[in-house]
Chains A and B, each alone.
Chain A
């Protein structure tokens, strides 16, 4: 577990231990939460540490506020939440609270033996997300993860909302995607990402999601109200204005509803597309298994839809891809679509939260990653295995997330699934994120694998760790992802499942992966820098992936098909990357995508088969990585995934079809044509 006061590292060991494949889904998510506890009282510190460890969190204790602040600054993505005492000799707890809020935007819980109303009020006004009275009981600590999730949701929402208004100049694609607000968001994300590179993350965050800015969080209840209103009006007749009136929620704006409606529509489209294969929007976890293939197809379809919806993918491409995906889905990999969807939903949230501005960047990254997945890589079987494992955890995580509705987790899961299907080898990558190098370098889209992983881990903020082959971060996340994947997906142990997990891990490791990848591609300076950014984003949360999904997952979260949604998103992202949509697809899709990717990549599609999926994924991952390295050179610094990165055939196919060329180096692959994907 974390060491005491010295560092804020995330020890995977402890967290990993917490995540075991097969754990009940609901249990996984909070486990591994990285907590920084600050208190000058050694006794309290010791007790809190033990309590938090018992909650399966990763704890770093610190008895000096200044030290805590510097730890946070050094490792921006190293923690998920901070617990701080109010009375401290070297710095007032509220001051620390302010600093953290401004610089890192982490949720902060204040605690004190003082329970006077005035002090508690001070906590509220300074932005504390909770206030605990000492002596702190274990029960009070068990649920602190809710603050992390809430913040993710807020950030995601915020990001989404503000995305459209920021960096208009960067969003050239936006004009193309004018019809889809989500794409606008994506563009923003991308821009954000870019900005992130240049600016302080906090600044970006502040721009779009200042702490003080009121956020619209589409909670489950709110969404249900929304759905009720839409159903009442009739989906065809449901216009934001009327929905808003029906919902009658104070503070909700028409814009909020409009963007949410868009996502919801996409989500529904996906559902209908998927329904043929499996229709358990709600049990996505389970159904995918049965319809291993189905989910895949669905995913593809979904993703495509999503993509299309977001303007990234031309409608026709979507159809094509979908068809392709369907045709291809030979792999039974039980893509945990549902899982993915659900997870994705959260993933969205997470990435958003974490990255804030950076999310955009992540998006880009994600995209790349996704692409990565699509690219068949030559992952070694063992990588696959690792991914598998990771995927498992991720799967679990996803599951958990879903159950909790704690979204961020789910997103991760989604990522994972995605990763899996796609990257034969990639999936594994997730788990192997640590091995980033092993990830399909060719793909250069480690994202997929990473993406999966990325999302997975809210915990993943480990990007840093990713460097090490040990890929701690990934494992952390991966495990989380894996869990859901495996557990949730009763997916027939298809490689996909595994793949997903690994993929997810990979995703989570997004940061990690990237790092790893980066390390691999040392030579690719640009690439690396883009990765770093990405990693950075990841660090925050594996949710990088989430960003992609942001639009999609959100809807999905509400529905059990979140997985699918996520997958879709993933696909979208991937597609954006230039990867065949198939690649992008979330788990379910991933499988399909992977297949596609594999096909595209020239890899044997057979691999896609469940059993082989993992392996393939691995290889995919590897290829991806490789591709990446090759391409990286071409890629502009900003782009993690150079436009021409990724499977050549896929990308070009996509681009050709759509005739869309990324406006920027970043992944502005808005118009990938999916047609080519189907090989």
Chain B
């Protein structure tokens, strides 16, 4: 549908499947934000004329004159739940899924995966980090997400890999500890350091996985 009649439509192509998912996820997130904002407005919060610096959402102000951003302070914590870089549970579940996938006789799957592009396809069991988190993660000093790794179904697990498994356990323990600390931390500096610890734990986990392949 060309409104201006110029011949610049060739620049626009219909969105791909992945882009549609991104658009859909973004829309859902916007709906959630609106609903939360509506709830807060009914609770007596004031809708300000300013926007949040990190995410661009409209700011709310409570009775104590404290500013509140719905998406940064409430919604992103939901997204963090699924991100293995920041949550021990998600990391654990991702690791378990990979182990499960590697133990099952998945020869046909491996053939498909070997043939397909190496970086973008992921097994359906692994949760994909939400795209809107990519936008938020770029700002605010958070570590960038690790790219989702290919499930290692191509090769059977090596028979005796005790050292890497032990290392994984140690890293996971540290990850869990760091997450607990993060939940109860009140200081900004400590939170930032804990976050970087968690992301380096996740990086280590990934490297260990690659080692064990």
Tell me whether A and B are bound partners: no
